[in-house]
C-alpha cells in the first residue's frame, strides 16, 4: 500500500525526506527519477574521486620542416669554425712564446735552438739506424762525415791565406777512412803515413809549379797544415771505424758518441741556466765552469747507464768511461775553438743551421775516438755474464 498523501497519482515518484518537495534533478534540469528508477536519491551518489596528477606530456618526435637539416648543418659548421679558430689562436700564441724564448737563447748563445734540435735528432736517427741494424752501414756515414769535415777545414784554412789542396785531401781521406774497416790494424798506420806524405808532396810540387814567390816559412806551414788536416779529421774518423770492426764494437761506438753528446748537452743546459764564471774567456768566452759541472754530471750518468745496460760492464767502468770521454770531448771543443779564433771565424761553416758547420759538432766526438778505443782493449774482457 502506497502513501498518496504527498503525490498526485501512482506514477508520481516519491521523494526523499532530505530532498525537499521538488524532485531530484540533474545539473541540466533533467529529472533523475522516473519509472525506471523509482526513488533515486542523488545525494546517495558517492563523491567523485580526485583525478590523478597529470603527467608531463611526452614530447612528440620533432618533425623538422624542409630546410631545417641544412640549418643544423650550418650551425655545426659554425661551431667547428669557431673551435678551429680558437685552436689556431692557441697554437699561434704557443709558437710566439717558443719563438720569443728561442730568440732569447739565440742572443745569449748565438745558436738557433729549434733548428739545432731538429738537425740533431735527424743525425741521431741516422746514426742509430746505421749502428743498430747492420754496422757496416756506419762506414759510408763515417766516410761522408770525414770528407765533409775535410772540405770545411780546408775552406776555412784557405780563407785565412793557407794553401790547402782539396782534391788530394779528399783522395787521401777516402783511402785512410776505408782502410780502417777493411784492412788490418798495422796497415792503417801505413795508410796514415802515405796519406800525410801524399798531401805534403802534392803541396810542394804545386808550389814549385806556381812559383809565386811565397816564403820558405809559408811553404813549410802549408805542408804541415796539409798533414794536420789528414790527422785531425780522417784519421780520427778511421779510429772510430777500427773500434767498429771489433767484436761488439758498434755498441762501444754508440756509447762513446752518446756520452760525448750527453756531455755537450749537459754543458749547454747548465751553462744556459747557471753559467756565471767563464772557463776559458780568451779561447771560448761562452763556456763556463757551471756548464762544465753539468757536463760532468751528464757524462758520468750516461757512462754508468750505458756500461750497465748496453755494454754489460760494471758501473765503475762506466764512470771511468764517462770521465775519459768528458776530458777528451772538452779538450777537443776547446782545441777547435782555439783554431777558429786563430783563423778569425765563428763557425767552420753555415751548412747546419743552429750548429754552424759539421766540424762544430764533431769537435768533441773526433778526439773521443782515441780513449774509446783504448778503453775497449782495456775493459772489453770485463763483460758481466
> Per-residue pLDDT for the chain (385 aa), expressed as one digit of tens each?
444 444 444 444 444 444 444 455 555 555 555 455 555 565 666 666 666 655 555 555 545 555 556 567 777 777 777 877 777 777 776 666 665 655 665 555 555 556 667 766 777 787 787 788 888 889 998 999 999 999 999 999 998 888 999 999 999 999 999 999 999 999 999 999 999 999 999 999 998 888 787 888 889 999 999 999 999 999 999 999 999 999 999 999 999 999 999 998 898 888 888 878 888 787 777 788 888 999 999 999 999 999 999 999 999 999 999 999 999 999 998 888 888 888 887 777 666 655 567 888 888 899 999 999 999 999 988 866 5
How deeply is 134 buried, as exposed, middle or buried, from its count of CB atoms within 10 A (0-12, 13-18, 19+)? Answer: exposed
User: What are the boundaries of each domain within the chain?
Assistant: 137-245, 246-385
> CA 214 to CA 56: how far, in whole Å?
108
Max CA distance (Å), the chain:
170
Q: How many C-alpha atoms does 72 have within 13 Å on its Cβ side?
A: 6
Q: What is the pLDDT of residue 283?
A: 78
Q: What is the pLDDT of residue 279?
A: 84
- The torsion angles phi and psi of 363, rounded to 5 degrees, stand at -65, -30
> How many residues comprise the chain?
385
**Set of cell numbers at residue 303:** 757512462
Q: Are 268 and 295 in contact (CB under 8 A)?
A: no
- The torsion angles phi and psi of 148, rounded to 5 degrees, stand at -65, -40
Q: What is the pLDDT of residue 1?
A: 46
Go through 141-170 and write b for each residue having 16 or more CB atoms within 10 A of its CB, e for each that does not: bbbebbbbbbbbbbebbeeeebbbbeebbb
Q: At a CB cut-off of 8 Å and minimum separation 6, what does 26 contact? A: 32, 42
Q: Are 67 and 42 in contact (CB under 8 A)?
A: no
Q: Is this structure's pTM higher than 0.85?
A: no
> CA 47 to CA 25: how far, in whole Å?
17
Amino acid at each position: 500500500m502506497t502513501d498518496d498523501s504527498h503525490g498526485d497519482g501512482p506514477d508520481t515518484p516519491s521523494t526523499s525526506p532530505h530532498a525537499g518537495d521538488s524532485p531530484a534533478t540533474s545539473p541540466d534540469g533533467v529529472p533523475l527519477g522516473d519509472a525506471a528508477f523509482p526513488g533515486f536519491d542523488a545525494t546517495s551518489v558517492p563523491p567523485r574521486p580526485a583525478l590523478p596528477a597529470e603527467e608531463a606530456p611526452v614530447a612528440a618526435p620533432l618533425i623538422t620542416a624542409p630546410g631545417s637539416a641544412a640549418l643544423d648543418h650550418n650551425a655545426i659548421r659554425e661551431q667547428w669554425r669557431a673551435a678551429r679558430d680558437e685552436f689556431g689562436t692557441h697554437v699561434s700564441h704557443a709558437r710566439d712564446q717558443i719563438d720569443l724564448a728561442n730568440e732569447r737563447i739565440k742572443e745569449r748563445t748565438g745558436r738557433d735552438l729549434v733548428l739545432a734540435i731538429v738537425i740533431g735528432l735527424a743525425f741521431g736517427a741516422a746514426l742509430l739506424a746505421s749502428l743498430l741494424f747492420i754496422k757496416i752501414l756506419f762506414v759510408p756515414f763515417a766516410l761522408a762525415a770525414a770528407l765533409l769535415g775535410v772540405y770545411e777545414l780546408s775552406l776555412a784554412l784557405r780563407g785565412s791565406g793557407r794553401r790547402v789542396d782539396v782534391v788530394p785531401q779528399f783522395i787521401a781521406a777516402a783511402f785512410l777512412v776505408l782502410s780502417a774497416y777493411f784492412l788490418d790494424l798495422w796497415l792503417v798506420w801505413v795508410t796514415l803515413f802515405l796519406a800525410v806524405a801524399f798531401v805534403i808532396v802534392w803541396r810542394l810540387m804545386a808550389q814549385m809549379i806556381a812559383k809565386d814567390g811565397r816564403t820558405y816559412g809559408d811553404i813549410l806551414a802549408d805542408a804541415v797544415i796539409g798533414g794536420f788536416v789528414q790527422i785531425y779529421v780522417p784519421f780520427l774518423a778511421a779510429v772510430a771505424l777500427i773500434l767498429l770492426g771489433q767484436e761488439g764494437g758498434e755498441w762501444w761506438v754508440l756509447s762513446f758518441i752518446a756520452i760525448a753528446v750527453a756531455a755537450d748537452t749537459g754543458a749547454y743546459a747548465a751553462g744556459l741556466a747557471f753559467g756565471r764564471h767563464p772557463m776559458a774567456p780568451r779561447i771560448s768566452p761562452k763556456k763556463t765552469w757551471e756548464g762544465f759541472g753539468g757536463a760532468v754530471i751528464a757524462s758520468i750518468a750516461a757512462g754508468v747507464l750505458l756500461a750497465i745496460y748496453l755494454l754489460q760492464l760494471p758501473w765503475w767502468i762506466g764512470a771511468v768511461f764517462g770521465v775519459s770521454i768528458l776530458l777528451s770531448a772538452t779538450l777537443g771543443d776547446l782545441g777547435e775553438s782555439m783554431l777558429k779564433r786563430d783563423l778569425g771565424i765563428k763557425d767552420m761553416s753555415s751548412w747546419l743551421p743552429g750548429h754552424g758547420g759539421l766540424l762544430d759538432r764533431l769537435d768533441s766526438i773526433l778526439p773521443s775516438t782515441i780513449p774509446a778505443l783504448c778503453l775497449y782493449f782495456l775493459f772489453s774482457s770485463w763483460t758481466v755474464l
